[in-house]
Amino acid sequence: MDDFATKTKNAFKWSSITEIITRLIAPITNMILARILLPEAFGMLTAILMIIAFAEVFVESGFQKFLIQHEFLNHGEENNYLCVAFWANLFFSLFIWILIILFRNQFASLIGNDSLGIPLSITGIVIPIYGIIGIQNCRLRKSLKFKKLFYVRIAAALVPIFVTIPCALLGFDYWSLIFGNIVGTIVRAIMLFIVDRFKPIWIFSKKIFIHMISYGIWTLVDGIAVWATTWIDTLLISRNLTNYYLGIYKNSIATITEFVAIVTSAVTPVLFASLSKIQDDSLEFNRFFLSVQRTLCIFLMPMGAGLFFYRRLATYILFGNGWDEAADVVGIMAITIIMRTIFVSFYSDAYRAKGKFQVPFFLQMADLLFLIPTCMIALKYGFWALVYARAFARLDLIFPEIIIVWKICGITLKDTGKIVFHPMISTAVMVFVIIILQNINDNIIWQFFSIIICAIVYFSVLFLFKEERERYLVPILSKNKIDKKGSL
């Protein structure tokens, strides 16, 4: 267990460093691009990526989750499974890209823009590249080698600075976004082959393939359901409204997701791999899961409240003057996306780590059955009705998840309540202070100053609780004392 703790701590460290840096680069480049390109350009890219994302679900075929969760008898057996998964991924991805090229006009018509056939075909080159790098990526995650993934992610994150932004300045419009997406994927593939020693050999066992697909089929169908819940609103906007509204809507959500991912993406890649290793130790499993959830609550709850109350300032900083209508999208989506992240999204990793691959699928289907009619009815009343209906629909699985995680993992509502209580109280006090400060003045300098005050208030209230002080402050202060003594 000590070895596991050391590996997990090291993985968290490198995963955190990687995600913080790459997730900070993304909003910065997006801030620049939003001031060069119109919302329509982002809308066209969104329409294309909708189809690409659907194709990627089939490329993964559930193999990656299986390879991370499954415990192999020896290295040789694991290598055989990896090779079979690699070649199966490559075959599926090439087949899907060919289908997209052949039926590009039909796909373009499906997403509501007949002119996107050629751009869709060209962007589709990323699909076989994902097929190649997917297995290498999960191999490194399974062994918790996140330091190597650091170099891969950083290299790919820098692509927009050297490719996308210059192309946008040269007037390539939405093509600059497409070029950046393709080059970034190619860079990831090259870097993975540099840092990873895995070189696939030709092995294809029907027995191994059927074994993986029998488990992976649940991840595959769950992936389809996840795609539908993620993109159904985008598809409706793409088919019924203009690229302007599509760009406003999806770019706002994507930016909020990037901010949330600064916290979550440092955790989730390590979470599934780590939980899988301790799946048979219920006490340690639950302790580790709740510890991660506590960390998410502490950082995400105040972030959601802050983005809601400072939504106009956030929109101005992130997108510039031409995106005023995005402010309310940013505000309401920030709260509901964060609530879903804490109480819904990462529960799926706990189920899969326990080998319950079918549970996330059934939950996604229940979510989808509620979401589709909700969005279709809301769209009849216009864009803003859809925005608010979609936002609150994100919360529909909170209570079902609490019940199911109790049944499968033994994590009770009381357990969850204990870890969210302190952050919720601290956030409530912070919101009260925000309302007072915003009534004093509304100029930009005061808003920045008030944000600093609110952050101080939040953590001051949080550390009034003895448990939080002992968990976070005492280890830091103790380490500083040791360092000072050591230096003497």
Query: Where residue 482 falls among pLDDT bands split at 50, 70, 90?
Result: very low
**pLDDT for position 334:** 92
What CA–CA distance (Å, rounded) separates 366 from 229? 10
What CA–CA distance (Å, rounded) separates 35 from 18? 26
**pLDDT for position 7:** 60
In the chain, what are the domain boundaries?
2-487
Pick the range with the lowest mean pLDDT from 48-57, 134-143, 295-304.
Answer: 134-143
**pLDDT for position 272:** 72
| Spatial CA neighbour of 340 closest among 379, 314, 373, 301 | 301
Whether 68 has a pLDDT exceeding 80, the answer reads no
Q: Are 65 and 242 in contact (CB under 8 A)?
A: no
Q: Are 396 and 274 in contact (CB under 8 A)?
A: no
Average pLDDT (154-158) is 84
Whether 64 has a pLDDT exceeding 80, the answer reads no
**pLDDT for position 53:** 86
- Tell me what percent of the residues of the chain surpass a pLDDT of 70: 87
**pLDDT for position 15:** 64
Whether 22 has a pLDDT exceeding 90, the answer reads no
List Cβ neighbours of 372 (8 Å cut-off, separation of 6 or more).
228, 232
The number of C-alpha atoms within 13 Å of 233 and in the hemisphere containing its C-beta is 28
**pLDDT for position 34:** 86
**pLDDT for position 89:** 82
The token duo for 200 is 């696939």
- Cβ-based neighbour number of residue 184 at 10 Å: 18
- Cβ-based neighbour number of residue 425 at 10 Å: 14
DSSP string for 266-322: TTHHHHHHHHHHTTT-HHHHHHHHHHHHHHHHHHHHHHHHHHHHTHHHHHHHHH-GG
**pLDDT for position 8:** 63
**pLDDT for position 25:** 79
Better pLDDT: 290 or 3: 290
Q: Report how far apart, in Å, the C-alpha atoms of 31 and of each of 40, 129, 184, 205, 249 are.
A: 15, 28, 18, 48, 16
List Cβ neighbours of 42 (8 Å cut-off, separation of 6 or more).
34, 174, 177, 246, 247, 250, 251
DSSP string for 387-399: HHHHHHHTTTTHH
Candidate ranges 24-33, 72-81, 292-301; pick with highest mean pLDDT: 292-301
Better pLDDT: 46 or 146: 46
C-alpha triplet 34, 39, 43: angle, nearest 5°: 120
Better pLDDT: 107 or 271: 107
Q: Are 252 and 312 in contact (CB under 8 A)?
A: no
Average pLDDT (371-388) is 94
Average pLDDT (34-63) is 83
**pLDDT for position 5:** 59
Better pLDDT: 456 or 21: 456
What CA–CA distance (Å, rounded) separates 45 from 246? 10
Pick the range with the lowest mean pLDDT from 181-185, 226-230, 415-419.
Answer: 226-230
Candidate ranges 126-140, 210-224, 281-295, 382-396; pick with highest mean pLDDT: 382-396
Mean pLDDT of all residues belonging to the chain: 83
The token duo for 375 is 């969005």
Pick the range with the lowest mean pLDDT from 109-123, 136-150, 164-178, 218-232.
Answer: 136-150
The token duo for 223 is 């992936």
**pLDDT for position 179:** 93
The token duo for 13 is 């460290």
Query: Where residue 69 falls among pLDDT bands split at 50, 70, 90?
Result: low
pTM of the model: 0.76
**pLDDT for position 188:** 86
- Tell me what percent of the residues of the chain surpass a pLDDT of 90: 30
Query: At how many degrees (to 10) do helices 243-264 and 206-240 cross?
Result: 130
430-480: pLDDT as tens digits: 999 999 999 988 788 999 999 999 999 999 999 898 887 777 665 544 544
**pLDDT for position 284:** 87
164-184: pLDDT as tens digits: 999 999 988 889 999 998 998
